[in-house]
Amino acid sequence: MKRNTMKWRIFKYNIIIIVGLIALTTIVFNIAIRFYIEGDIKKQLSMIAQQTEYTALHKGPDFFPIKDKKSPPPPPDTINETNKTDIDLLGFHFMLDHSLREPLSILNANYILLDNNKEVIPSPSEDYFSLPENIVEKVTNEIGHLKDVEDQKYINFTINGTEYISIIKPISNQNSIGLGWLVIYSTLQKVNQLKLAINAILLVILVLSALIVAVFSSIAAKKISAPFSSLSKHIGAIAERNFGTKIDLPVDDELQEFVININTMSEKLESYDKAQKTFLQNASHEFRTPLMSIQSYAEGIKYDVVEKDTAADIIIDETKRMTHLVEDLLYLSRLDAIEENYHYNALDFNDFINTCKERMNGIAIKSNISLIANSLSYNISIYADEDKLFRAFTNIISNCIRYANNTVEIKSQKLSENQLQITICDDGPGIDAKELPNIFERFYKGKKGNVGLGLAISKNVIEKHNGKITAHNSQCGAIFTIILPIK
């Protein structure tokens, strides 16, 4: 998997999240389970202490003589009596040990009996009840630090690397047989083993989960990045001017619009590329014709083949035609340029239409055409660049005058609160149905051989004003429909 790719980035972030979640889960789990186990151990120790306390206090008097400070010390016992006492003490300790074992689960609990002087009451048999080293010292030190000798206390300590937890319970006020303190303690060895086992199980679960998530993340990253790789190839093809291939990929909804826009862009670029080629071909032909005519008549004048006046008039006309063509080309290139500035101002539409009529009326009269403009009965303002919009309208009006038989009419009406519709129609033969889709293209040459840029300029200007222009035929002639936004 290569770096600096979307697939690698998705996979990397997923791995980081997985590792972070594993670490966080492990830490939180261990903290939580430690608190839970320690709390549970304290409850068990408390329960064991209560049961052992009950055994010691209620069964102790059966084995221990009641101590009384006023009574004289007992006489020396016989051997048989001593043996009996040892047997009784041994039985008592076995009872205490039995009381420890009944409620146990993971604890390995044991006990220590202390008298009121914090001295250990020894077990009759060290073989059965052997105390680990230093435990008594730890316990007695803790008892010495107790401020309130009537409350039980939990302590944790470590001896020779082994962790212990214990409960110290004062019972001197509850008996008269000399028991001062009851200490229940247990190693945490089984608890730690349990934690290790749980952590091992948790680690296996997390590792398997991480592997599964990593595999699915890799597959997901591949599926996500695959459309982009394909799109990159198509865009590269477009950059090489191969516009014909459409993108046909099964993509998600989020990319569907993106793919549609790329296909639309490819179609428009293809159309624009063809239009540019046609434009260059027609432009070169359009310039070649007047140049050849000028050259021919200039040579005719030189060799006295044609009349000078006739040749001069033709040369002047062809020169004017070329000049007009060059001006239109330069104007259209400026309109296409990003840096072309439009100076928008509020414009009274009735005044604008009347101005268009007045300026074009001379050309109409010269061609014996009646130019009619119907003004609106109310004032409407549009937001426009007056000079550029005027050129767009005059180009359309002049085109209608060129093909009209008798009349060119300009009509205006309000479509809605935000739109204004203007129709410019003539009573001529109309536009050929096959030519209608192409009349706004640059240098489009119809059946009559007429080419020009006027309608292309009009379309460009009107679209820059957020408007729309269309053309169609009626029973009376050609109709140009313009829709502009109202200020």
Q: Distance between CA 487 and CA 414 in Å, rounded?
A: 12
CA distance 442 to 221: 47
- Return the pLDDT at 308: 85
407 with 461, same domain? yes
CA 143/CA 453 separation, integer angstroms: 108
Taking residue 373's Cβ as centre, other Cβ atoms within 10 Å add up to 20
Ranges under pLDDT 50 in the chain: 66-73, 75-87, 125-129, 338-339, 449
Angle between the 349-366 and 386-403 helix axes, to the nearest 10 degrees?
40
Dihedrals phi, psi of 244, to nearest 5 degrees = -75, -25
Domain-embedded: residue 420: yes
Is the four-CA dihedral 314, 319, 324, 326 of positive or negative sign? positive
Domain region containing 402: 345-485
Residue 203's identity, in one-letter code, is L
Residue-wise DSSP of 446-464: -TT----SHHHHHHHHHHH
The pLDDT of residue 87 is 46
CA 431/CA 454 separation, integer angstroms: 16
Distance in angstroms (rounded) separating the CA atoms of residues 190 and 106:
6
Give domain status of residue 228, yes or no.
no
Q: By the 8 A CB rule, do 407 and 413 touch? A: no
User: Cβ distance 399 to 454 under 8 Å?
Assistant: yes
> Considering the domain boundaries, does residue 320 fall inside one?
yes
**Domain C-terminal end among 311, 336, 361:** 336
Domain-located, residue 128: yes
> What CA–CA distance (Å, rounded) separates 200 from 120?
41
Which pLDDT score is estimated for 70?
Answer: 45
Read off the CATH number of the domain in which 278 is found: 1.10.287.130
Residue 484 β-bridge partners:
420
Predicted local distance difference test score (pLDDT) of residue 94? 54
Q: How many other C-beta atoms are found inside a 10 Å radius of the C-beta of residue 222?
A: 14
Asked if residue 394 and residue 323 are part of one domain, the reply reads: no
Looking at the fold, whether 184 and 50 belong to one and the same domain comes out as yes
Distance (Å, rounded) from C-alpha 340 to C-alpha 385?
A: 12
- Mark whether 332 and 349 lie in a shared domain: no
Give the span between the Cα atoms of 438 and 444, in whole angstroms.
7
Of 293, 312, 336, the position where a domain reaches its end is 336
Residue 28's H or E segment, with its range, is: helix 6-63
Residues 408, 263 share a domain: no
Q: pTM above the 0.75 mark?
A: no
How far apart are alpha carbons 372 and 419 in whole angstroms?
A: 22
Is 216 among the domain residues?
no
Per the structure, how many domains does the chain have? 3
CATH at residue 350: 3.30.565.10
Closest residue by Cα to residue 154 from 183, 124, 196, 187: 183
Cα dihedral sign for 274, 333, 466, 355?
negative
**pLDDT at position 426, please?**
93
* 463-468-470 Cα angle (round to 5): 125
Q: How many CB atoms lie within 10 A of CB 272?
A: 12
In a domain? residue 446: yes
Question: Are residues 270 and 126 part of one domain?
Answer: no
* CA atoms of 259 and 266, how far apart (whole Å): 10
**Which pLDDT score is estimated for 366?**
87
383 and 470, same structural domain?
A: yes
Residue 217 in domain: no
Residue that terminates a domain, selected from 277, 301, 336 = 336
Span 243-258, pLDDT tens digits:
767 777 776 666 777 7
Residues 132 and 163 in one domain: yes
Do residues 314 and 439 share a domain?
A: no
Residues 134 and 45 in one domain: yes
The answer to the question of residue 172 being in a domain is yes
**Same structural domain, 358 and 260:** no
Domain identity same for 18 and 80: yes
